[in-house]
Amino acid sequence: MTTTAPPSAESAAPRAARREMLDLRQRPRRLRRSAAIRDLVRETRLSPAALVYPLFVCEGEGVRREVPSMPGVHQLSVDEAVRETAAAARDGVRSVLLFGLPRNEDKDAVGSAADDAAAPVQSAVRAIKQEAPGMLVVTDVCLCEYTSHGHCGIVDGDVIVNDATVGRLARVAVSHAEAGADVVAPSDMMDGRVGAIREALDDARFEDVAIMTYAAKYCSAYYGPFRDAADSAPAFGDRRTHQMDPANVEEALREVALDIEEGADIVMVKPALHYLDVIARVKEEFGYPTAAYHVSGEYAMLKAAARNGWLDEDRAMREVLTAITRAGADIVITYYAREAARMAR
């Protein structure tokens, strides 16, 4: 007589084994099942309030000239910059960063046009404050757009002279404050310029004007399209004697520490995408409001790939801006600010 085990006993052992194998208490996929649950547990959220929109302001009226290497970005005369700011405000953008493009004949060895009250940046600040009073206005403080040689400072032979440059930068910052800028953003990387700017602003009773310093600005190939847009490529040499070596991160922390000591309110890392580790360390070590600049070349490479149909621009943009925010940036300066603000709303 053959005995067959009862069916339940027969399958009990393999079923237990199978159960043990698949009885996962933790199933991360539970939190990815629907848009609602993914949105619920998302750790990094993009907010329009965190975005800063750079604008290139030129002379003239009714000028809206697209930058070939930066599709969607234009050189704008003051009236057009005001219109663009108003349109950005409707998209939810709250801050703009202004770069000035003087006429070629107004460029000279010391960048005299940089602290001219009638120059494009100063005029645009006044006009934007008039027409879009809720908009935070940040101004770029540097000399490279204003010097005939395209360097960020005063040169002696092939040397960019630090201390003479710092004096000029402080005057430029005060001139932006006089026009009504809320925040000045020195992008030159001279030593001691944050302290000199702070002192000059305070002396001129602009103690409430904040400084967003390009504290860790790397010597990057990704500024190429910007130099087309701003006509600010150096006529000789490069920017390696003041901008940082991409290989260094400890040095970035020293730069940030110095700028904070000198009175910086917001510290910036630039570029963004290849420097996420720098952003993360700066945020972690100092806990200061930290900005990251998604620069012209980073924008241009996304645009170029999207235009070739090689990637989905909206998705790529969201991913990039999310990654920069996830790394620790509180503030993202980006030519995508309008699109990103619309997306984030």
Does residue 217 have an active-site annotation?
A: yes
If residue 154 lies in a helix (H) or strand (E), which one and from where to where? strand 154-156
What is the total count of residues that contact ligand PBG (CB under 6 A)? 12
**321 CB burial (10 A radius; 0-12, 13-18, 19+):** buried
**Residue 75 interface partner, choices ligand PBG, Zn ion, none, CB cut-off 5-8 Å depending on type:** none
Pick the closer one to ligand PBG by CB: 139 or 290: 139
The verdict on whether 107 is a catalytic residue reads no
Cα(173)–Cα(184) distance, rounded to whole angstroms?
6
Query: Given the complex with Zn ion, which of 152 and 321 has the nearer CB atom?
Result: 152
Pairing of strands 266-270, 290-294: parallel
Cα separation, 46 vs 340, whole angstroms: 8
Q: Which C-beta is closer to ligand PBG: that of 206 or that of 226?
A: 226
196-235: contacts with ligand PBG (CB under 6 A): 223, 226-227
139 neighbors 185 (Cβ within 8 angstroms): yes
**Contact with ligand PBG (CB under 6 A): which of 113, 155, 201, 295?**
295
**One residue of 73, 89, 97, 152 binding Zn ion per CB under 5 A:** 152
Which stretch, 27-35, 116-124, 147-155, 192-200, contacts Zn ion (CB under 5 A)? 147-155
Q: Does 144 bind Zn ion (CB under 5 A)?
A: yes
Using the structure block, give the residue that is written with the tokens 């000198």: 262
Question: Which of ligand PBG, Zn ion, none binds 226 (CB below 5-8 Å, type-dependent)?
Answer: ligand PBG
* R_g of the chain, CA atoms, integer Å: 25
The site partner of 95 among ligand PBG, Zn ion, none (C-beta below 5 to 8 Å per kind) is none
Judged by CB under 6 A, the stretch of 29-37, 81-89, 136-144, 251-259 that binds ligand PBG is 136-144
CB 328 within 8 A of CB 290: yes
- 142 counts as binding Zn ion under rule CB under 5 A: yes
Q: How far apart are CA 81 and CA 137, in angstroms?
A: 12
Q: Which does 141 bind (CB under 5 to 8 A by kind): ligand PBG, Zn ion, none?
A: none
H or E, element range at 211: strand 210-217
- Does residue 51 contact residue 337 with C-beta atoms inside 8 Å? yes
The whole-angstrom separation of Cα 147 and Cα 230 is 12
Per-residue interface string for the shown chain with ligand PBG, residues 141-160, x marking contact by CB under 6 A: -x-x-------x--------
Closest to ligand PBG by CB, 56 vs 206, is: 56
**Which residue from 59, 140, 255, 259 is in contact with ligand PBG, where contact means CB under 6 A?**
140
Residue nearest to ligand PBG (CB): 226
Candidates 9-17, 121-129, 140-148, 200-208 — which segment interacts with ligand PBG by CB under 6 A?
140-148
187 binds ligand PBG (CB under 6 A): yes
Q: How far apart are CB 52 and Zn ion at their closest, in Å?
A: 18
Calpha distance 85→63 (Å, rounded): 15
Nearest to 284 by CA among 329, 244, 317, 233: 329
Q: Which amino acid is at 27?
A: R
User: Which one, 79 or 274, has the nearer CB to ligand PBG?
Assistant: 274
Q: What is the 3-state secondary structure (H, E, C) of 280-341?
A: HHHHHHHCCCEEEEECHHHHHHHHHHHHCCCCCHHHHHHHHHHHHHHHCCCEEEECCHHHHH
Residues contributing to the site for ligand PBG (CB under 6 A): 140, 142, 144, 152, 187-188, 223, 226-227, 239, 295-296
Residues contributing to the site for Zn ion (CB under 5 A): 142, 144, 152
The catalytic residue positions are 217, 270
